[in-house]
Structure 1
Amino acid sequence: MNAKIKPRRRMRGARLADAPGVAMRALLAGALLCGLALPGPLAAQAGSELKIAYVDMQRLLDGAPQMAAARERLAREFAARDAALKQDQGRLASMETRLREEGAFIQRDEAERLKQQTDALRRSVERSRERMRDELTRRTREEADRAFPAISEAVAEYARAQGIDLVLTSPVIYYNAKIDITDRVIDSLRSAGAE
């Protein structure tokens, strides 16, 4: 009988000998995140109390003065296109009303021509609306990306000034409202903008 012995494959990642070290590091990281008391010399290194705060990033972006200014810029940038779209929508509504109310009383070829014009204008309005929505989404994302570094730095500055060790951002499963610093960071952004 010619049996083949398969060589043992090495495990990827941590070796078994490293397991206690990996477990200890995971336990230490978990303890730091949960704010648990650390034994002996580790407690002296970490400080007596770990201060954790929470920031709702969506609320922060919505309330930040940088984003309010960006929304105003975008409103000015898209005002002409929005007005033209509303004008086309008004023309479309009046054409549809005319077709509905007078369609039975006008000649067949005139009614057909009016229906074709109405359909063409409807497609044009829908395309324009779609393009404008896509462009507005892209520009809003660009403005948020431009403002995000300053907003992130404001969170970090506030945390350093208040002696906060860790700031968690959304989404989180649970947080107590007493550690939410979102409104205070928004206030600091507004006061920095006023200066």
Structure 2
Amino acid sequence: MNTKSKLVKTLSAAAVAAAALCAAAPAMAQEARIAAVNSERILRDSQPAKAAQVKLEQEFSKRDRELQDMAQKIKGMADKLDKDTAVLADSDRQRRQREVADLDREFQRKQREFREDLNQRRNEELAQVLERANRVIRSIAEQRKYDLIVQEAVYVNPRIDITDDVMKALNAGGK
């Protein structure tokens, strides 16, 4: 066999192999089942997320009211001080300014603690909702034989979005 016929035979074999790979590639791609879930929507609109929000509001409403009352008191004291400044002796004016400043510092501290506590509790509650959602997502993935479920994406074709199914399962109790 000469070199030319070996080359033709090798190129023919390569062409057949390439054609086989091209024909097999779409079949392999069709086997992968992919879905997407909008986690933000679940954490915002699902019944467990809404229940967590109500729980947080109940838990923190008293402290929130106390802070609002304190802010009103400070505003009232500051307004009264501004109104009375012209008729107050220097020592009285300074004493009342100090009282307003001290109360304002205490208010700022309590407000900061309130925000920190609220954020920590919100994170704890949302973590529980997300954990339940992930269990539901895994369950759906196993039932429907998905190979990949993506939770964050730039774009999701509505055809592969299973967020509604996850929300229904979560709202039904997380099965």
TM-score clears 0.5: yes
Task: Select the structure that is richer in helix.
Answer: 2
1:39 aligned onto 2:24: yes
TM, length-normalised to structure 2: 0.76
Counterparts of 1:33-182 in structure 2, within 5 Å, are 39=24, 43=27, 48-170=30-152, 172-182=153-163
Shift in Å, 1:124: 0.7
Letter in 2 for 1:99: L
**Stretch of structure 1 that moved more, 99-108 or 87-96:** 99-108
Give the Cα separation in 2 of the matches to 1:159 and 1:94: 59
Letter in 1 for 2:155: Y
What residue number does 2:170 align with? 189
Give the Cα separation in 2 of the matches to 1:148 and 1:58: 10
Which stretches in structure 1 are left out of the alignment for 5+ residues? Answer: 1-36
Task: Confirm or deny: 8 A CA contact 2:78 2:100 kept in the other structure.
Answer: yes
Letter in 1 for 2:164: D
Shift in Å, 1:48: 4.5
Give the Cα separation in 1 of the matches to 2:93 and 2:66: 26
Letter in 1 for 2:42: L
Q: Secondary structure at the match of 1:109?
A: helix
Shift in Å, 1:110: 1.5
Give the Cα separation in 2 of the matches to 1:129 and 1:117: 18
Shift in Å, 1:126: 0.7
CA RMSD of aligned residues (A): 2.5
**Which structure has the higher relative contact order (CA within 8 Å, separation 6+)?**
2
TM, length-normalised to structure 1: 0.69
Give the Cα separation in 2 of the matches to 1:140 and 1:149: 14
Give the Cα separation in 2 of the matches to 1:102 and 1:183: 61
Q: Secondary structure at the match of 2:55?
A: helix
Give the Cα separation in 2 of the matches to 1:109 and 1:95: 16
Which stretches in structure 2 are left out of the alignment for 5+ residues? Answer: 1-21
Q: Secondary structure at the match of 2:173?
A: helix
Deviating beyond 6 angstroms after TM superposition, the runs of 4 or more aligned structure 1 residues are: none
Shift in Å, 1:144: 2.0
Q: Secondary structure at the match of 2:86?
A: coil
